[in-house]
Structure 1
Amino acid sequence: AGKRLHTGRSRNDQVATDIRLWLRDAIDTILGLIREFQLAVLDLAEHHADTPLPGFTHLQVAQPVTFGHHLMAYFEMTRRDAERFADCRKRVNRLPLGSAALAGTTYPIDREYVAELLGFEEVCFNSLDAVSDRDFAIEFCAAVSLLMTHLSRLSEELILWMSPRVGFIDLADRFCTGSSIMPQKKNPDVPELVRGKTGRANGNLVSLLTLMKGQPLAYNKDNQEDKEPLFDSADTAIDTLRIYADMMGSRVENGEKIFNVRVKRDAMQAALTQGYATATDLADYLVKKGLPFRDAHEAVALAVRAAEAKGCDLPQIALDELKAAMAHVPRAVERLTEDVFQVLTVEGSLAARNHVGGTAPEQVRKAIARARARVA
């Protein structure tokens, strides 16, 4: 009976089937771990839905945002990642078995029935393509590369935020290590390792693309080289998601919930006094009072220059000083009243952006509620 097992089959279609079965399970594991990571991010974001910090462009202070809003950007990134993996799974879940070596078989097989038994959604409809196709592996590695790119961006921010020069956060000790010679050091090793492994995932993608680019139809021995980058990308994604779901999550100590990413609110608040984060709000204030934006932009630039000369932030300039600074734009001066200081506060700036996708704490909480409904 054992001698009959190979009837109507080839190593070519059997290996192609086995890889797809394995990868289907790996994708299901990754989707579950993305969900765990997202839930951890949502808990942390909800806890800091109204914690202000500077938003940056070009690594320069731009406008106030909330830490919760900032974290929700990573939820959105991984939501797209989950969509990509789920979509990739559809193309993984096609049955090549029955294609034999390359031309199909002369035996009376029922491929649709085999597909049903093995949980495949459909069969591969061309035998030549079925045994030689590795698009699904390339697509998977591309999805892993994007996932790792997103986690690498988060890693970079965690590393920057933990630096004493910034001091926005502290990571739980078990995600860090000390120096071999400097006893005071606490190095963010987990984020650094993830940032480094992203290059590895990108390399796996390029390896598979290069492997396939010169192959004629149908199967070639080159394809034995597909396993190592494919398996490594899956392992990298799974290991990274597991530790990041843990690191972004929380623990209970003495009955109290402690987040592994400890936010230093005072440092974030102090950073908002640098870089004139509410300057755009001042321009918007003038525009709402009828001034063209170009004129408002010019007037606020003059106000910022005056604040720099005085060594203070915009809210600390008296109304008369503000008017004097904008003297070259008389139409702006005419529109300045005491209510301007309501929009120059960080709280006022945040609350003003109360629309879908905005950083107002109310909108951040709504976004978190929508996200929880998606991952429930």
Structure 2
Amino acid sequence: MEGEKALLWGGRFTGATDPLMVQFNASIGVDKRLFLEDIQGSQAYAKAIARVGLLTDDELQSIIDGLDKVLEEWNSGTFEIQKTDEDIHTANERRLKELIGAIAGKLHTGRSRNDQVSTDMRMWLYKASGRLQDFLKKLMAVFIERATVEVDILMPGYTHLQRAQVVRWSHWLLSHASSLSRDLQRLQQLQKRVNVLPLGSGAIAGNPFGIDRELLAKDLGFDGVSLNSMDSTGDRDIIAEFTFWGTLTMMHLSKWAEDLIIYSTKEFSFIHLSDAYSTGSSLMPQKKNPDSLELIRGKAGSVFGKCAGFLVTLKGLPSTYNKDLQEDKQGMFDTYDILSAVLQIATGVLTTLQVNACQTHGALSEDMLATDVAYYLVRKGVPFREAHGLAGKVVQLAESEKCSMSELPLGKLQSLSLSFDSDLANVWDYNHSVEQYTSAGGTSKESVMKQIENIKAGCGLV
């Protein structure tokens, strides 16, 4: 029973807890990653209760110094987790008591693990979000640099995995950078919502000792305090948002990876991946596999699962804190760990890959200019629906004549429509094709360069 009484909640119980239940109930194996935030939150809370007379100056200093020693042990790897340490809060308070004695028992006055763990997680996630933003910005900087330098490279653009229209390689790069720019903005917005302090909410009803929560928030670097104690102890919106953010970001990165996997095949040969981000086959010596990209694509599923699983957990809960919420941290940590690794690997892949401009240009074909034929006729005054039909007939005529569209005699073209003239020759120029898309967001050089400036400005990369 001695171990039973050492538990934060053990005083009410007289019977022993099943050892398996003790193990099942514990979360120290996961939430020990919050040791720094838990200590910082406890030191700030000690100051808050000292300000209302619940700690003397000497007691406060003893707690602050004792927690500093606990932190030193965590940082040096000498902290020893005990069997009775259910979670990081129990572990730190137990060790503090060993160091400074009974005074440690005053630290938890008016505080619950419900508001304590929520505070720790928000502090951790705020910093983690900042690191992920840095990784995202580094990746986007590579997209922008390559789009700027390689702006004159042309390639086929695909819909339904079929060659559609001529675009710039830079336009393809920026299509993915645009998705990531939204991911960056979402993470920045989420970080602001994370930075709200729940500490001082107690278990459910609030704090009875009149602590200054606004000053406590300021001490810990929060922007403000939560509005309602019942809501804040059970609120895990930020975890749901974070795992969804990770899901959406991984979806965008998976799409990018899939494109590059296709482009790296011998059949396409648009790009060449660096050896640093490829592996070989255990059986076939000639193979060079895009494992970095396949792992990015594959790990997207893991993040999706974290999000879906946690949302199901939340859906089944009544209001305020429930033990189910102990499952929140694993998904948060896993999402961070995966995104942290993926963003850095993606940056390395994109930095080192080589684009084969001859191959991308060689994959262009005149049939991709069929829409340009329609646009040519529109500029001659032909209604688009009619022009679209005529362009289709030009394609059909070239197929029946077993020649390219540009080789069709003008007379045969005029048998379809008198709007065709000798200036149709301009349509067969691929550079002319991309340069006609001058509207914002288009693939003309001017438009692409404008996109680059807009993304740089919007993401703070100027």
TM-score band (shorter)?
over 0.9
> How much has 1:311 moved relative to structure 2?
4.1
Quick one: which of 123, 131, 148 aligns to 1:29? 131
How is 1:326-337 mapped onto 2 (pairs within 5 angstroms)?
Answer: 326=416, 333-337=417-421
Q: State the distance in 1 between where 2:270 and 2:400 align.
A: 28
Corresponding residue for residue 349 of structure 1 = 433
> How much has 1:355 moved relative to structure 2?
2.1
1:182 aligns with 2:284: yes
How is 1:120-131 mapped onto 2 (pairs within 5 angstroms)?
Answer: 120-131=222-233
Quick one: which of 321, 326, 336 aligns to 1:219? 321
Check conservation: 1:100, 1:127, Cα contact below 8 A: yes
> How much has 1:83 moved relative to structure 2?
0.9
Q: State the distance in 1 between where 2:255 and 2:129 align.
A: 22
Corresponding residue for residue 77 of structure 2 = none
Deviations 1:163-198 (A, max 9, x none): 111111111111100111101101001110000000
> How much has 1:222 moved relative to structure 2?
0.7
Which stretch shifts more, 290-299 or 196-205? Answer: 290-299
Q: State the distance in 2 between where 1:244 and 1:235 align.
A: 14
Q: State the distance in 2 between where 1:309 and 1:25 align.
A: 65
Q: Which structure ranks higher in relative contact order (CA pairs < 8 Å, sequence separation ≥ 6)?
A: 1
1:290 aligns with 2:290: no
Quick one: which of 396, 405, 427 aligns to 1:314? 405
Say which structure is richer in helix: 2
**Partner SS for 2:422:** coil
1:117 aligns with 2:200: no
Check conservation: 1:103, 1:127, Cα contact below 8 A: yes
Quick one: which of 45, 52, 56 aligns to 2:158? 56
Corresponding residue for residue 443 of structure 2 = 359
**Partner SS for 2:208:** coil
Q: State the distance in 1 between where 2:374 and 2:215 align.
A: 67
Which ranges in structure 2 are unaligned for 5 or more consecutive residues?
1-102
Corresponding residue for residue 250 of structure 2 = 148
1:172 aligns with 2:264: no
Quick one: which of 236, 259, 264 aligns to 1:134? 236
Check conservation: 1:49, 1:67, Cα contact below 8 A: yes
Q: State the distance in 2 between where 1:63 and 1:69 align.
A: 12
1:89 aligns with 2:191: yes
Q: Which amino acid aligns with 1:224?
A: Q
Q: State the distance in 1 between where 2:409 and 2:299 align.
A: 52
Check conservation: 2:181, 2:455, Cα contact below 8 A: no
Check conservation: 1:315, 1:345, Cα contact below 8 A: no
Q: State the distance in 2 between where 1:314 and 1:240 align.
A: 45
Quick one: which of 359, 362, 386 aligns to 1:267? 359
CA-based RMSD of the aligned residues comes to 1.3
Quick one: which of 78, 102, 108 aligns to 1:6? 108
> How much has 1:317 moved relative to structure 2?
2.9
**Count of residues paired in the alignment:** 358
Q: State the distance in 2 between where 1:145 and 1:222 align.
A: 22
Q: State the distance in 2 between where 1:37 and 1:313 align.
A: 41
> How much has 1:9 moved relative to structure 2?
0.5
Q: Mark the CA change 1:67 to 1:16 in structure 2 (over 3 Å): closer, same or farther.
A: same
**Partner SS for 2:368:** coil
Check conservation: 1:13, 1:100, Cα contact below 8 A: yes
TM-score, length-normalised on structure 1? Answer: 0.92
Q: State the distance in 1 between where 2:359 and 2:239 align.
A: 45
> How much has 1:299 moved relative to structure 2?
1.0
Which stretch shifts more, 148-157 or 353-362? Answer: 353-362
% identical aligned pairs: 40
Corresponding residue for residue 27 of structure 2 = none
Runs of 4+ in 1 over 6 A off after TM superposition: none
Q: Which has the larger radius of gyration?
A: 2
Q: Mark the CA change 1:207 to 1:188 in structure 2 (over 3 Å): closer, same or farther.
A: same
Q: Which amino acid aligns with 1:297?
A: H
Corresponding residue for residue 252 of structure 1 = none
Q: Which amino acid aligns with 1:337?
A: D
Corresponding residue for residue 10 of structure 2 = none
> How much has 1:312 moved relative to structure 2?
4.0
Q: State the distance in 1 between where 2:365 and 2:248 align.
A: 35
Q: Which amino acid aligns with 2:430?
A: V
Q: State the distance in 2 between where 1:223 and 1:280 align.
A: 55
> How much has 1:320 moved relative to structure 2?
2.9
Check conservation: 1:279, 1:344, Cα contact below 8 A: no
> How much has 1:344 moved relative to structure 2?
2.6
Which ranges in structure 1 are unaligned for 5 or more consecutive residues?
250-259, 327-332
Deviations 1:242-281 (A, max 9, x none): 11112212xxxxxxxxxx121111221121116x111111
Which stretch shifts more, 136-145 or 288-297? Answer: 288-297
Deviations 1:298-357 (A, max 9, x none): 111111012223444323333234334x2xxxxxx2111111110232111111112211
Q: Which amino acid aligns with 2:449?
A: R
Q: Mark the CA change 1:38 to 1:184 in structure 2 (over 3 Å): closer, same or farther.
A: same
Corresponding residue for residue 368 of structure 1 = 452
Q: State the distance in 2 between where 1:371 and 1:217 align.
A: 41
Q: State the distance in 2 between where 1:229 and 1:82 align.
A: 20
Check conservation: 1:247, 1:261, Cα contact below 8 A: yes
Which stretch shifts more, 301-310 or 142-151? Answer: 301-310
Q: State the distance in 2 between where 1:312 and 1:175 align.
A: 43
Quick one: which of 280, 303, 309 aligns to 2:371? 280
